[in-house]
Chains A and B, each alone.
Chain A
Amino acid sequence: DQQVKQNSPSLSVQEGRISILNCDYTNSMFDYFLWYKKYPAEGPTFLISISSIKDKNEDGRFTVFLNKSAKHLSLHIVPSQPGDSAVYFCILTGANSKLTFGKGITLSVRP
């Protein structure tokens, strides 16, 4: 029962362009939607989040959009930089404190 779907396993983008990472979910009971970034041999690190009552949150080069009617979440990175190359996890959470992870998307930013 996969509650968080990141259907594209990888994405390759030219440096300076926009990266758009997509995520779909099935359960509407979650309160917050998070994006974490993970480099090889390291733990995930928090990137940005959005509350279920909002539709957009922006932090520097990173913007997260939430479309609740479509149960769709996206992360935009602009401009993309080579240091952004990592695995990005879409995560849902709520009052039970569990983080429910998607499988992740591997982003490669080409110089």
Chain B
Amino acid sequence: NAGVMQNPRHLVRRRGQEARLRCSPMKGHSHVYWYRQLPEEGLKFMVYLQKENIIDESGMPKERFSAEFPKEGPSILRIQQVVRGDSAAYFCASSPFRSDNSNQPQHFGDGTRLSIL
């Protein structure tokens, strides 16, 4: 997947704990997108970030979820007080510029599979 690194690949949490998912974009990419895939569903957009800025968080649940992309280091998707319904695959994608056409396709990582006990 051309260098988008997500870790951990699998994460198990108990209800009420916090989950932190990390994404390092491809080298030279400054735009990061997070998507969630529930079983038997397509991926759903959550949030779009640039370095130190949240550009669009219209897909983020109103509570417990937050995302950041600091000047240094990976992008983090944080889920507080996890519930069973948070169990899903979370994918990160990156692009070098704003990905609004086919010339700038988003490159995806292999995802983090979050399981809530």
Against B, the Cβ 8 Å flags (1 = close, 0 = not) of A29-53 are 0011010100001111110011100
Query: Are A103 and B1 in contact, with the CB atoms below 8 A?
Result: no
The residues of B that contact A4 with a CB separation of less than 8 Å are 42
The residues of B that contact A31 with a CB separation of less than 8 Å are 100-101
- Interface residues of chain A, those whose CB is within 8 Å of chain B, are 4, 31-32, 34, 36, 41-46, 49-51, 89, 93-104
Q: In the complex, what's the smallest C-beta–C-beta distance from B30 to chain A, in angstroms? A: 13
29 pairs across A/B with beta carbons < 8 Å? A32-B101, A34-B105, A41-B110, A42-B110, A43-B4, A43-B93, A43-B110, A44-B91, A45-B1, A46-B105, A46-B107, A49-B102, A49-B105, A51-B101, A89-B42, A89-B43, A93-B101, A96-B56, A97-B55, A97-B56, A97-B98, A97-B99, A97-B100, A98-B45, A98-B59, A99-B33, A100-B45, A103-B41, A103-B42
- Interface residues of chain B, those whose CB is within 8 Å of chain A, are 1, 4, 31, 33, 35, 40-45, 48, 55-56, 58-59, 91, 93, 98-102, 105-111
Residue of A nearest to B59 (CB): A98
Q: How far is the CA of A51 from the CA of B101 in the complex (A)?
A: 8
Q: How far is the CA of A49 from the CA of B102 in the complex (A)?
A: 6
Given contacts A101-B42, A103-B42, contact A45 B102 (CB under 8 A): no
Query: Are B102 and A99 in contact, with the CB atoms below 8 A?
Result: no
The residues of A that contact B59 with a CB separation of less than 8 Å are 98
Residue of A nearest to B104 (CB): A97
The residues of B that contact A97 with a CB separation of less than 8 Å are 31, 33, 48, 55-56, 98-100
Q: How far is the CA of A4 from the CA of B41 in the complex (A)?
A: 12
Q: How far is the CA of A96 from the CA of B10 in the complex (A)?
A: 30
Given contacts A32-B101, A93-B99, contact A99 B106 (CB under 8 A): yes
Residue of B nearest to A87 (CB): B42
The residues of B that contact A99 with a CB separation of less than 8 Å are 33, 35, 43, 45, 93, 106
Query: Are A43 and B42 in contact, with the CB atoms below 8 A?
Result: no
The residues of A that contact B106 with a CB separation of less than 8 Å are 46, 99
